[in-house]
Amino acid sequence: MTRKRIVVYLMVGGLVMVGLGGCGRRESHSVRVATFNASLNRNDAGKLVTDLAGDDPQAKAVAEIVQRVRPDILVVNEFDWDDNGEAARLFHDRYLAVGQRVSGEPAARAIEYPFWFTASVNTGTPSGLDLDNDGIVGASGVAYGGDALGFGFFPGQYGMVIYSRFPIHTEEIRTFQNLLWRDMPDALLPVDPDSGEPWYTDAELAVLPLSSKSHWDVPVNVAGRTVHLLISHPTPPVFDGPEDRNGRRNHDEIRLWRDYITANAASYLYDDRGTGGGLTDGASFIIMGDMNSDPHDGDSHERPIAMLLRHPRVDTSITPTSAGGSEQARLQGGYNERHTGDPGFDTADFDDGERGPGNLRLDYVLPSKDLGVVDAGVFWPLSDDPLFDLVGVSDHRLVWVDMVVGP
């Protein structure tokens, strides 16, 4: 019997919600949730759509990884945004929904998601101001990216997309793309170390958002229970100067989620519809994405991910791990030998030479304690595994967590 497919686009203030009808609610409460910085970004607007419309080898490898892991909910970071959701649709229909065989193993089984969500982001959005203080307002290239509201060569670069087998509460989605950094109490706004003056002018602070991409609260209905997906991709804490403007922004982008789930700490927050406050006490949530912060190693300012890992509402009873991460740290050596964190927890494979930073734990799936975590892992096979070559598709690894969600 052929299942009828109905595609619906809902666009409100730059949001795109897409659903395919015909799937009933899963009866099982066993849920696998994953996040993957898949590096599906391009340097030119529209290039990702063009590539996905063809036969893109990178997208096929990313899709095979997803098909091997088979998450029920998937967040993809570094997925270029377009205003009609075409890239998200193409990746689903032409890659995820088609069994892939890049690895040489028997083909993976296709995987379909009845619902997905994407929205605009700040990366590549021009500010019209000299945010990097290089004396020019960039019109193209790196200078343009440094003056954008979040580093990027065009609006939407390094965006995000969520795929879900569970219905999304569309009307309850909250986005925090426009929350100004200056409006966070005790924000770590940078100071010019030479002059001692604020790095940003008042005019710049009046337009500079806290989020380098966006922060999303996307509620999903998991077997009759609402679970809030708290999605973001804070800026890397590098590529700046001694003022550490990116490191400080990364810190405060992560702090936003700490405040959002903490009673009496979120009164300053306002979403893009003007609604204030944070998450309701007792609400179920999963914080997900590439946080660009390792709890022990790397360059993040004051290890901000610790704010979430130590939060009393966050379940860290099982840390996602892999044998491949430990093996590669040993084989690659270099800067990895200076690290103090467990290499089995690493989720990103970076420069291992003397300049570092080596391999790091940057990608997280952090459920609230009321969700029953039963297993977790990082897709990083050993080098003699037939699936090992797949991981070269990105410098990050897919991270997954299994949980049992009751009604």
- Span 67-77, pLDDT tens digits: 999 999 999 99
Quick check: is 136 in a domain? no
Is residue 356 assigned to a domain? yes
Q: Which pLDDT score, from 0 to 100, does residue 16 have?
A: 59
Rounded CA separation 361/373 (Å): 19
Residue 138 falls within a domain, yes or no? no
Residue 130 located in a structural domain? no
Q: Determine the pLDDT at residue 18.
A: 54
Residue 372's φ and ψ, nearest 5 degrees, are -85, 90
| 144 belongs to a structural domain | no
Q: Which domain holds residue 208?
A: 7-121+156-404
Q: Which amino acid is at 407?
A: P
- Does residue 137 lie in a domain region? no
Q: Give the number of domains in the chain.
A: 1
Q: How many CB atoms lie within 10 A of CB 310?
A: 11
Residue 90 one-letter amino acid: L
Please answer whether residues 314 and 366 qualify as being in contact, where contact means their C-beta atoms are separated by less than 8 angstroms: yes
Contact 138, 145 (CB under 8 A): yes
* 10-residue stretch averages of pLDDT, the chain, 407 residues long: 33 48 51 98 97 98 98 98 97 98 93 98 97 92 94 97 97 98 98 96 98 98 94 97 98 98 96 97 97 96 97 98 97 94 97 84 97 96 97 97 89
- Cα gap 235→123, rounded to integer Å: 10
Q: Is 241 helix (H, G, I), strand (E, B) or coil?
A: coil
Specify burial of residue 116 (Cβ count, 10 A radius: 0-12, 13-18, 19+): buried
Task: Specify the pLDDT at position 139.
Answer: 86
Bridge-based pairing state of the strands 115-119 and 30-40: unpaired
Indicate the pairing of strand 115-119 with strand 160-164. Answer: antiparallel
Whether residue 82 is contained in a domain is answered as yes
CB hemisphere CA count around 25 (13 angstroms): 11
Q: What pTM does this model have?
A: 0.94
Structure tokens given for 1: 């019997």
In angstroms, rounded to a whole number, what is the distance separating the alpha carbons of residues 323 and 388?
A: 11
- Per the domain annotation, does 209 fall within a domain? yes
Q: Give the pLDDT score at 4.
A: 32
* CATH code for position 289: 3.60.10.10
> Taking a C-beta distance cutoff of 8 angstroms, is the pair 401, 376 a contact?
yes
Which sign, positive or negative, has the C-alpha torsion 332, 338, 343, 349?
Answer: negative
Give the pLDDT confidence score for residue 111 in this predicted structure: 98
CA dihedral (48, 51, 54, 55) positive or negative: negative
End-to-end Cα separation, the chain, in angstroms: 31
